[in-house]
Amino acid sequence: MRVISIIAKPHAENIEVLLRKIISFLRNNNIELLFDKRTASIIKSTTFVEEEEIRLKSNLIIVIGGDGTLLSAARILKGKETPIIGINMGRLGFLTEIKAEEAINMLEDFLSGKASIEKRMKLDCKLMEDNTEVFQSEVLNDVVINKGALARMIDIELVIDGQFVNALRADGIIFSTPTGSTAYNLAAGGPIVYPELNSIIITPICPHSLTHRPIVISKNSKINISIKNNYENIFLTCDGQIGRRLNKDSSNDIIITKANTYVKLVTSSNRNYYSLLKEKLRWGQN
């Protein structure tokens, strides 16, 4: 373990104090550190590297912030399975599960080989316009097709493994990994799925018919989605961060499959997935 990159959320409360504490600990352990531009600005350093150098050189990435910051870091890796430690300085934090006060102990465990690493599946999403691929992304959480605020409901045709499944009218639809089951999927009424089950969750958003319910399918399935109406404001969004507006003058088809690579998350030995759910969702509290 020689090169560790740190990616931090600049405006998190008390971020500079924690960041300097982590930097001091790692340098005392003879670790070479890389910072992206935003992280360098927190400690008022002019030394930073570009994302590609982080991807190529890092043996570990430390994320200090919220789940959105970790999703950004996973996208920087572009399929490279470098472990990520997520330290929570945000609000809910299902992915950034390590508390700030646990950060140094977590790093000690990792450097000594005592930490656990979980492999989390991703989805691969392709957008086809008139049978030509125009957009591709891998996601750790979810792929979402939804409408703008003033648009009408979307007519969606769903085919799985070549078998017609459903034609539904809804505000949109979510395709989630088990990791993403506690994100938008949960808010839309979808199930919580244990991360190691490696399945795909399909959850309609405000369907016109109440009989259209969430469904969990095999990780090996190939999903084809056709959009049957051409409105100005229909969007494809990946992990809530990147995507594009669908072209109303083209046929729009989305293909979703399991990605070939995983994201490796370093997890705390002090809690299991169920205790994490209990803590984050405040189960058993009034």
Tokens of 243: 């995507």
Known catalytic residue at 67: yes
Gyration radius of the chain over CA positions: 20
Instruction: Give the CA dihedral 104, 109, 111, 113, nearest 10 degrees.
Output: -170
Tokens 């989805």 -> residue? 123
**254 alpha carbon, distance to own chain's centre:** 19
Whole-angstrom CA distances from 113 to 63, 105, 117, 266, 282 are 19, 12, 10, 11, 31
CB 151 within 8 A of CB 233: yes
The residue from 36, 67, 239, 253 that is catalytic is: 67
What positions carry a catalytic annotation? Answer: 67
